[in-house]
Amino acid sequence: MSVDRDHLKVFGARAGAELAADVCDHLDLPLGVGKTELFPDGELIVRIEEDVRGRDCFVVQSTSDPVNANLMELLIFIDCLRRASAKRITAVIPYFGYARQDRKDAGRTPITAKLVANLFAAAGADRVLCMDLHAAQIQGFFDIPVDHLTASAVLGSYFEGIRSDLGDLAIVSPDVGNVKVANAYASMLNADLAIIDKRRESGDSVASRNLIGDVSGRTVLMVDDMISTAGTICEAARLVMERGAERVIAAASHPVLCGLAMDRLQDAPIEKIVVTDSIPDRGRLDPIRNKLVELTIAPMLGEAIYRIHHDMSISALFQRGTGVKR
């Protein structure tokens, strides 16, 4: 892969530094030199320590916990590059925070995903590169171009590689909204499809009551865009085990894993949890390390960055994709 080392720059903010370094390794490109400092009063300042005038610049940052601090840092990073006369600025956001606030589902509530999209344009980003948005329509919230990747190529390749070990396999959608993605995995892995009717009782409490399909004596694979508090996936795992499943494997693009997630996953009848590195680990996943398989998205991001820089099509990266949740 021939890379224009003089005009392509990839930077990593604090929640994207490790992933940015891996992307640069894939591209055989030095990591851009910049740093974030924290003032005693809590304010952030970003310093770019190399020339970016006329360069095509990419900033990698997941807006994960602490969401507001990481979001603000990314906006400041973009503004810093704009004021340093970068030719084009792309915000690379492997995990896009606030994506679940994508519509008014009650009176007097915000659509924060749209607000955040506006902030990126106001800060000076020319385009956005993201992965597995919780809702596909968020792409339309941006007034700048969006390239939307999916981790299904990475997750799918992993499961294809161990397909013979999975035996009689059933892909289970943990909720009705994920059926399209689950069906694509079922086709990819030559497996049957089952669906769970999920009823949410509160923001962090889920009761899964009904299973449509047969999982008896089978390995169950459940794939979702994220595991947040793990209420959905753990209740679903208990349900399929009650219905005769032999073992359960869970997979997700984004290991958000907040609140009671670690305790729930430790106690749940889930043999293996497969995730990507869209959100930095830094030891926070240690409580479930014995169940964890972490796959890297760095080569996929690197390929996308290469294609954007050279004005090539991104759609080729989607050919084996499974689509998005809704």
148-173 pLDDT, tens digit per residue, is: 999 999 999 999 999 999 999 999 99
Query: Residue 95, CB half-sphere, CA atoms under 13 Å: how many?
Result: 27
Q: Which residue has the higher pLDDT, 143 or 203?
A: 143
Q: Where are the alpha helices (DSSP H) in 96-230?
A: 112-123, 152-161, 163-166, 179-188
- Is the predicted pLDDT of residue 195 greater than 70, yes or no? yes
3-state secondary structure of 226: strand
User: Which tens digit of pLDDT belongs to each residue from 23-66?
Assistant: 999 999 999 999 999 999 999 999 999 999 999 999 999 999 99
Of 238, 245, 177, which is closest to residue 208 (Cα–Cα)? 238
User: What is the mean predicted confidence (pLDDT) over 240-247?
Assistant: 97
Class at the top of the CATH hierarchy for domain 152-295: alpha beta
pLDDT band, very low/low/confident/very high, at 119 (cuts 50, 70, 90): very high
The per-residue pLDDT for 6 is: 79
Residues 148 and 139: their CA atoms lie apart, in Å, by 8
321 pLDDT exceeds 70? Answer: no
Res 316: pLDDT: 77
The rounded mean pLDDT for the chain is 93
Per-residue confidence (pLDDT) for residue 202, from 0 to 100: 57
State the pLDDT confidence band at 113, using cuts at 50, 70 and 90. very high
Distance CA 252, CA 274 (A): 6
Q: Count of CB atoms within 10 A of residue 216's CB? A: 11
**Side-by-side strand order, sheet with 205-212:** 205-212, 192-202, 169-173, 219-227, 247-255, 272-276, 292-295
For residue 167, give the amino acid letter: G
Please answer whether residues 138 and 93 qualify as being in contact, where contact means their C-beta atoms are separated by less than 8 angstroms: no
Within the chain, all domains assigned CATH 3.40.50.2020 are found at 8-150+298-318, 152-295
Q: Which is catalytic among the residues 198, 272, 291, 325?
A: 198
* pLDDT at 136 (0 to 100): 87
Q: Which residues contact 282 (CB under 8 A, 6 or more apart)?
A: none
Q: Are 189 and 163 in contact (CB under 8 A)?
A: yes
Q: Domain 8-150+298-318 belongs to what architecture?
A: 3-Layer(aba) Sandwich (3.40)
Q: What is the pTM of this model?
A: 0.93
Predicted local distance difference test score (pLDDT) of residue 198: 67
- With H, G, I as helix, E, B as strand and everything else as coil, classify residue 68: helix
pLDDT at residue 135 above 80? yes
Q: Is 198 a catalytic residue?
A: yes
The neighbour count for residue 11, using CB atoms within 10 Å, is 27
Q: What is the pLDDT of residues 201-239, one digit of tens each?
A: 655 555 557 899 999 999 999 999 999 999 989 999 999
pLDDT of residue 210: 86
Q: Of the candidates 324, 326, 322, 325, which has an alpha carbon nearest to the alpha carbon of residue 187?
A: 322
